[in-house]
Every structure is written in structure tokens, then in C-alpha cells.
Structure 1
């Protein structure tokens, strides 16, 4: 039974309620002063509290997406073997037929709902995949949204731009669909003529759970940056009809994903030509979840500090969009300093809300503007 299973949550809630009923029923029998009765009272109280904490924890995890599976929670998922398949199946030329792609494993399709019945030519398609990195040795599950134009007659001769979408830490890639609805926003903007058809690759930055790598190539540790700037583009380009090169690839993310997005564009303009940060920050976090990301190297730490890069290194010719709120968001002043430090040929745009916060509601408000902005800065092949 999965960690995010609704059935598990219901069982936990029923167990907590059962503990309450059991405690009330047994309490008169445990009212004696004998040591066994005292231990019984302590046991029933502890069981009730633990049951309620478990139910509350499962509910919070399901809502916020802290951990996607038991392996994530226990930290046992990083070394799991990955079986890579070199095909996605067959279909007519107008339908999706992915070429053999080492590093990409299909895990099924996610249904789309709507008045058109979710037909690929009308609504597009969401595929669940696992992308394994040949260079980094890392792998991560995620989703790929293919817009309707990918499936329409003549689409096989067109290569679409790509937007890599990242969650925060620890994140759950499903939240990019269920909570932020990236595919729905993209489809709505495409149908309205406000966004060019773009393939979305929906991932989370936590590729070595439970460690927060901050998208860093950790010395003698997880090579997270290599995974996102080398392995993912190579695998996706081999599996789907997409354009290649920095003019055709962009990246967008919230919180930790926003920091990673900006960093990828600034450090690897040969891969990502545009990036969007929603409530992102500007230097790598350092706490119990990250450990020592830089092996004690001051040089590596500075190179991953975005403000330091703007002040001390030549800036690349890329386009960035940063989003924050004057009230309710902790990165507002840092974002203003980042904007002020930017110099040509770097181009920085911003979305500044009057009030908001570090939450899905604020990001949903920003997405209908931020996602088309990113697509506008990409080119089809």
C-alpha cells in the first residue's frame, strides 16, 4: 500500500478513532492502582496519540507532497536497480511513436479529462516515465506532457520546444499535475493562441532521496546537476520528437526548483536558454537535509551562489523570469537585489504580486503568465 494511498489514510484515521473508543471502553478496567493497570493506561494513551500523529502525518504528506513513497521516506530508493526499456510501443504516424531511447522507461499513461474525452489530438497526452542518467547514474520518475499538435497530421515533421518543470524539495512530480495543473495551463494557453505548443517534462529535484542535493554535483556524491543538464536532455531528445539546443530548451520551477532553474540557465547556457523561478532563492541551502554539498570547497560554493555569479563572473545571454510577492514571501528583498545585479547580455523579467506566499495557491496564480513567457523564449525545430 503506497505512502500516499487514500486507503492507507482512511485506515489510519479509523485506527485513531478506534484507539479513542478502545481507551474509553478500557479505562474503567484500568482504574486500579496495580502496576499493570498503570502500564495499561500509559499504553492506551500512547497508542492513541501515535495513531493520531500517524493519521495527521499521512494527511499532511498527501496534501503537501513531502514524500512520494515509502522508499523516499526511508531513504532506500536511491540504489534501486533501474530496468531501461528501449521502446515506447507502436502507433500510427499521427499518434505518438517514440524512438528507442536509452535512459527512458515508460510507466504508463495518465488520463486527461475534458469535454473532448482526452483524445490526444485534442488534449494531448501525459506519460509517466522513469528517466535514468547514463552519466550521473541517477534516475527519477516523472511525467511528460505532449501537446495536441504532437499528434496531429504533419506533426511528425515538427520538433517542439521543451520546458523542464521542477517541484520544490522534497517534492512529488504528481503535484505538478494535480496541484499546479501544468498540462491544463499549457493546453488552455495553447488553445487561446497565447502559447506555442511545448513539451513539458515534469520532474522533482530530489534525485537522491532523502538528501536535498540543491541540484549540485556533490563531490564524491550524487551528480544531480549532471543529471538535469546532460542526462535528461539527452534522454528526452532521443525518446520524443523535440527540438534540441539552448534556444529550444527552458526550465521552470518553484522554491528549490526555482533556484535550480536559474542556476541551470546561468551555469549551462549551452543547454537552457531561458528559466523561470517561482518563489526561488539565490544560493544553495545548507542544513541537515543537504549535508556538505561542496566538500569544503569555497570555490564550488561560490559558483553555486547566483548573486556571487552576477557580481564576479561574466553573465550569459539567457532570459530569466523571477516571481515573488511583496507580502507573504521571504525572498522578496533577495529577488530585488538579484534584479538590480543583472547586467546585459543577461535579461531578467519579473512578476511581483502585492501579496502571496510560498504555496501552491500563489504559484497557480502566476503560472498562466509565467509558463507562456517561458514558451515565448523558446523555438521549435
Structure 2
């Protein structure tokens, strides 16, 4: 029974109810010194139930090992192999970061057909989680593998490898994907060590035009910020309820300068990348920053915005925005390519018909554009 399981939540709820019944029924005959103990028991079980419920929403602690300070999990590491049928597979391996000094597990979604066509190199999307949370929120809470399978099968998305890294060695340490002075070098891990490991282990494109980022909440800030900071590594970033300014102290005041995306766009050269900013219209902070980033963006930066009426800053809203954001990224990053003997990349549809899928709808190539969505265009929140 894991700390994010429904069974544990029901057990904690049953204990809370039992403690309340015992307190109510026995108060009159209970010795005076026992009453504070009984009240404390009620409060403890209620707190435990609340914490388990919260953990089920954000999956900060998917395993007992993570609860006690480790990002290790009980999943069996898998070796990437050819995927059959119409669904992809999720594998897990460990990335030992030489540049960052961090060693963390990473999950990878491999699309259906991966490995069947020798030489095919797939575009890559790094999917970043929020805080407090973990990659498990993408995998279990958002059902991302099912979403990706559906979008690829429908032709709205090209076959793509999607990476789900941890952003910090400590579940309750918020780095916002920065390099903390005297702390974890999360930015280096995500932008240097993870890409190097993925290129070495998986059949993926090595050009920046084939790499993108996506994230929700704090991960939305990460996707936007890392795309702006590393245009030689990534071509696009999609932020779901993201924001423009980190809420942590980096240690050298850079949270007010180079890690502040509005400051960066106002004072530094504009990078030639594409951004997709999506949030609920009722999410005031995310909406304010999305509008500010769209106003600050100018060529060669391309900004596309998409808003959902209602919703809020929550998992249901991020799940509703998930499929359109992946579709947009896929359109921006393009298709798998096949490396010819002369090391010249050619589109996979010209060399591997089995990998064909209809192209997704083309996004605006430059300048801000806006779409207002009445709920989810793919699947309503639930």
C-alpha cells in the first residue's frame, strides 16, 4: 500500500471516523486525563487523512522511499525495446549527472513503433512537474501515456519521445529548475545531464529543433524559463498555468534578473524560440503573467496563448490543457527523421511509412496569437 494509494486514504479516513466516534461516545465516562489524549488522536487522524488526500492529488511521495527522503521507487528499470501494437511504453532509468552532480530517476514514454525502423530519430519533449509533486503526477494523475497514445494515433501529434525527470533530489525542496547557490544544480541537470543521457540511451533527434519542454504550475515556469535561457538546446516551451518570476531565493539575486523572464525579455537578446502559454481565465496570477509575456515577446520569439474559461490552478485544469499543448509542441518540433548513411536527416514519412501520422495544426509562426477555449478541446475536466 503506497502513500498515494486509495487504500491508504480510505484507511486514514476510517481511523478518523473511528476516533471521532470513540471521543463522542466515551467523553462522559472518560477520565479527565484521557480527554486531551482522545482529542489529540482525533486531530492526528484528521491531519493524516488530509495529508494522504493531498498527496494523492499531487503525488509528491509516490513511494515510502520518497517519503523518507529518497527519489528512488519500486518500479523495475526497463531497457528500451521495440514497441508493438498501437500503444507506447513507459520505461525508467537513472541519470547520473556529471555536470550537475545529481543522480535521479527519469521516466520516458516511447511511442508505438519505437525501435522498429532502424535509424529513425524521434523528437523529444521534457515534461516538468509542479511543486510539491513528482513525475508520477504526469503518469498517474494525468494519464499522460493514454493521452499521448490517443493524440499520436489520431494524427494530431507525431510519434515523440517524452521524458519525465525529477527536478530536485528532495521532494519538498522547491528549486523551480534553477541552479541554487550552495544547493542542487537543477537547471544543469535538466538542460545538460538529462539531454546527454537521453541522446546516449534512446533513438532521438540531436538537433535543438527537435527538442521542447512542457510543464504545469512551477513546471510551467520551468518550461518557459529554460526555453528562453537555452535556445541552443530547445526550440519550444509550453507552460500550463506557469508564471514569469520564480518565488524562491536563488542565492545571488538572480531571481530578480536573469531568472525573471520579463526582465530577461526586456534586457537581454530575444531568443528564436516558440512559447505556448495556457491557463484558466480565473487563474489570476497565471493569466497576468501570460498576458505580460505575450506583450513582451517580439520576433524572433513566437508566442501563442490559449485560455480556458473557468477552471483554476488545479490538476483538472492542467489535464484539460494537456492534449492541446502536446499537439502544439509536436507541430512546432516536427516529425521523426531518419539518419541516412551520409548523416543527412530526412523526414521519417519519406523513409519509414509505418511511422506516418497526419501533421498537427500549424501554430502561428511569429508574434502573439490567442485562442479562447470553452473548456477542454479534447476532454472536459473531471
C-alpha separation in 1, matches of 2:79 and 2:141: 30
> 2:290 aligns to what?
335
CA offsets 1:291-327 (integer angstroms, 9 cap, x no match): x31x2x2356411000001000001111111112322
Q: SS at the partner of 1:127?
A: strand
> 1:102 aligns to what?
none
> 2:136 aligns to what?
174
Q: SS at the partner of 2:70?
A: coil
1:159 aligns with 2:83: no
CA offsets 1:307-358 (integer angstroms, 9 cap, x no match): 0010000011111111123224422122111101111111111112233211
1:137 aligns with 2:101: yes
Residue 72 of structure 1 and its aligned partner are, at CA, apart by 4.5
> 2:89 aligns to what?
125
Contact 1:129 1:141 in 2 (8 A): yes
> 1:213 aligns to what?
175
Contact 2:128 2:216 in 1 (8 A): yes
Q: Normalising by structure 1, report the TM-score.
A: 0.81
1:41 aligns with 2:53: no
C-alpha separation in 2, matches of 1:55 and 1:237: 43
> 1:53 aligns to what?
47
C-alpha separation in 2, matches of 1:363 and 1:120: 29
Q: SS at the partner of 1:57?
A: helix
Residue 71 of structure 1 and its aligned partner are, at CA, apart by 5.1
C-alpha separation in 1, matches of 2:94 and 2:10: 29
Bigger shift: residues 248-257 or 184-193: 184-193
C-alpha separation in 1, matches of 2:160 and 2:242: 23
Bigger shift: residues 200-209 or 230-239: 200-209
Q: SS at the partner of 2:29?
A: helix
C-alpha separation in 2, matches of 1:325 and 1:268: 27
C-alpha separation in 2, matches of 1:300 and 1:12: 40
C-alpha separation in 2, matches of 1:223 and 1:348: 28
Contact 1:73 1:210 in 2 (8 A): no
Contact 1:204 1:257 in 2 (8 A): no
> 2:9 aligns to what?
9
C-alpha separation in 1, matches of 2:57 and 2:322: 20
Q: Normalising by structure 2, report the TM-score.
A: 0.80
Q: SS at the partner of 2:33?
A: helix
CA offsets 1:194-220 (integer angstroms, 9 cap, x no match): 211001112343343321011111122
C-alpha separation in 1, matches of 2:279 and 2:10: 37
Q: SS at the partner of 1:247?
A: helix
> 1:357 aligns to what?
312
Residue 64 of structure 1 and its aligned partner are, at CA, apart by 3.0
Contact 1:72 1:210 in 2 (8 A): no
Aligned residues: 334
Unpaired stretches in structure 2, ≥5 consecutive residues? 338-382
CA offsets 1:204-255 (integer angstroms, 9 cap, x no match): 4334332101111112211000000001001111111111121111000011
1:304 aligns with 2:259: yes
Bigger shift: residues 305-314 or 217-226: 217-226
C-alpha separation in 1, matches of 2:27 and 2:292: 61
Contact 1:147 1:199 in 2 (8 A): yes
Unpaired stretches in structure 1, ≥5 consecutive residues? 31-36, 97-118, 287-291
**Among 192, 197, 201, which residue is 1:230 paired with?**
192
CA offsets 1:129-159 (integer angstroms, 9 cap, x no match): 333322212233342111112143xx22201
